[in-house]
Amino acid sequence: MKHTLSLLTGLLLLAAVTPTAHAASVTFGTGVNQFMMEFVPIGNPGNAADTTGLPNPAGSVGYAFQMGKFEVSEDMIDKANAEGGLGITKDTRGPDKPATTVNWFEAATFVNWLNTSQGFQAAYNFDGSGNFQFWSAAEAFDMSSNSNPGSVSGPNLYRHKDAQYFLPSVDEWYKAAYYDGDNDVYYDYPTGSDSVPDGIDSAGDTTFDVVFFDGGSNPDPNDITDAGVLSPYGTMGQGGNVFEWEETALDLTNDGFLESRGLRGGAWDSSEANLRADVRSTLSPSNEGDRGGFRVAAVPEPSGALLGLVGLCGGLLRRRRRSASH
């Protein structure tokens, strides 16, 4: 029985840190306000940090997690507003366009609703008057659980430890964009390459790697599902289309309510320089820039295969116990 218990324990531990092998779609809202978000697994926990980008080091994450495959769209905000009465304001370019003119606090409010609408703990702490507050050290997500810390470690007073969905930290965003876990290498661009990608060469150009100004600008960002080639992990649009909020403060400390937050990735009307791993922008969390949006990260779900094996081991345990009782 000791051997069976050891196997079950090992599988449970593996299930706790191993994301699903494929992208997973999650449904939020109800009725006419229902929408889906797709998440891709970001594995290779404990990867080494990159020492050539910004911040330096960056990209080391000691746990498995998931990243939204696409940026958050206007349609998602509209339906969350209708379902949850969130009151988030944004631009109105079209339902499948990335939601822009959304400040950091509004992005955090949206993420909180993703959690609470599914019975999970809110990620971010707002008091009864809507003012952003810190979690206590006991409630905060402990970044020291990162077994190979990159640029951020210790308690993250912005994020609750039990939240299922959250804004990506500087390291989580960086890893999902630039790291190739299969080859253990960081790239300069979120396209799995060190070569300058092809951008929008003329208005209406449909042949491109990334949505950025490359001689002829689109008047607006592209739809979230038409934002270029994928990163090695399978995310779209982490380079170009719109800048994206990081959860993390510019100085990496997360110890100020109003301190500037990191922004990454460039936009449809900016140059290729903003796509690079060594460029990190900043903005006040109350700023509502019309070139800025966000995506959502999540904790991993155990894989179906692992759950099946755990169930099998449970059956073996029950049979062993019945045998022992005779």
Q: φ and ψ at 254, to 5 degrees?
A: 50, 45
Please give the structure tokens belonging to residue 31: 């009725």
Which has more pLDDT, 201 or 14? Answer: 201
Domain spans in the chain, listed from the N-terminal domain onward: 1-18+307-326, 24-301
> Whole-prediction pTM value?
0.86
Q: List pLDDT tens digits, range 227-252.
A: 999 999 999 999 999 999 999 999 99
What single-letter DSSP state applies at residue 148? S
| pLDDT tier for residue 203 given thresholds of 50, 70 and 90 | confident
Q: What is the pLDDT of residue 229?
A: 97
Q: List pLDDT tens digits, range 253-293.
A: 999 999 999 999 999 999 999 999 999 999 999 999 899 99
Which has more pLDDT, 217 or 239? Answer: 239
Please give the structure tokens belonging to residue 185: 């290498």
Please give the structure tokens belonging to residue 251: 């100085």
Report, as an integer, the average pLDDT of 301-318: 42
Classify 312 as helix, strand or coil: helix
Q: Of the candidates 217, 223, 246, which has an alpha carbon nearest to the alpha carbon of residue 151?
A: 246
Q: Which of 11-25, 51-65, 81-95, 231-245 has the lowest mean pLDDT?
A: 11-25
Q: What is the pLDDT of residue 146?
A: 59
| pLDDT tier for residue 145 given thresholds of 50, 70 and 90 | low
Q: What is the pLDDT of residue 22?
A: 64
Percent of the chain's residues with pLDDT above 90: 76
Say if domain 24-301 classifies as CATH 3.40.50.11270: no
Which has more pLDDT, 303 or 87? Answer: 87
- Pairwise CA distance, residues 158 & 42, whole Å: 22
Q: What is the pLDDT of residue 138?
A: 95
Report, as an integer, the average pLDDT of 299-319: 46
Please give the structure tokens belonging to residue 278: 């060594």
Q: How far is CA 183 from CA 115, 186, 187, 250, 263, in A?
A: 34, 9, 11, 29, 27
